Amino acid sequence: KNEVEQSPQNLTAQEGEFITINCSYSVGISALHWLQQHPGGGIVSLFMLSSGKKKHGRLIATINIQEKHSSLHITASHPRDSAVYICAVSSWGKLQFGAGTQVVVTP
Amino acid sequence: NAGVTQTPKFQVLKTGQSMTLQCAQDMNHNSMYWYRQDPGMGLRLIYYSASEGTTDKGEVPNGYNVSRLNKREFSLRLESAAPSQTSVYFCASSERSTGIGSPLHFGNGTRLTVT
């Protein structure tokens, strides 16, 4: 059983729509990471957070430690946001990854 | 500003052949990692090096060996490749161990096919 679950697995949105990706985990963590994997395969770190909320441009990440849940929001989505978004948690010295959410934004 | 450089980008091997994947980072990071990514699964840790001079097994170490040559370089070796090792391999680095919560920087990946 994967200790990091993401939903949905796949998501298609029209340009301009608000997108939410969810991440639930079952272990105690020191931090949670959101990563973006481009269609070409490269992986970029978007956020690392241990409480509250962080914002970078049109991306917002939130975490609720008590509920063991995090969300990644994309406001005013654009086709260039099409990518796989990966949630990962730092727990007991290790990083555990979710399987990723494939996001496609159509013009 | 290269970040994490990983070579080669693509490789095809026959069963039983050996190869080494090279990784170097120029950010003076202490920790380096090798992951594999398979369809429908999350990234899985093969080996990691928390600091120069140390290496430890991750989740899926069988069939692999690593060398932390110096602070910059961390290589992954497949001694006798098997079809089950067909995957995309990523090298990554972080300033501190991921357990403490330090952002990861990834290489661009190596797509390996073993026939």
B98/A90 Cβ within 8 A: yes
What is the rounded CA–CA span in Å between residue B47 and residue A57?
34
pLDDT in tens, B66-84: 999 899 999 999 999 999 9
Residue B51 vs residues A24, A48, B32, B48: alpha-carbon distances, Å: 30, 21, 8, 9
Chain B residues with CB inside 8 Å of A95's CB?
45, 98-99, 104
Tell which residue, A87, A107, A85, has the closest CA to residue A97: A87
What is the rounded CA–CA span in Å between residue A20 and residue A22?
7
What does DSSP say about strands B74-78 and B87-94: parallel, antiparallel, or unpaired?
A: unpaired
Chain B interface, mutation test: which of A6, A95, A102, most B Cβ atoms within 10 Å? A95
**Residue-wise pLDDT tens for chain A (107 aa)?**
678 999 999 999 999 999 999 999 998 888 999 999 988 778 999 999 999 999 999 999 999 999 999 999 999 999 999 999 999 998 877 788 999 999 999 99
User: CB contact, 8 Å: A43 with chain B?
Assistant: yes
Chain A interface, mutation test: which of B4, B43, B102, most A Cβ atoms within 10 Å? B43
User: CB contact, 8 Å: A75 with chain B?
Assistant: no
What is the rounded CA–CA span in Å between residue B42 and residue B89?
12
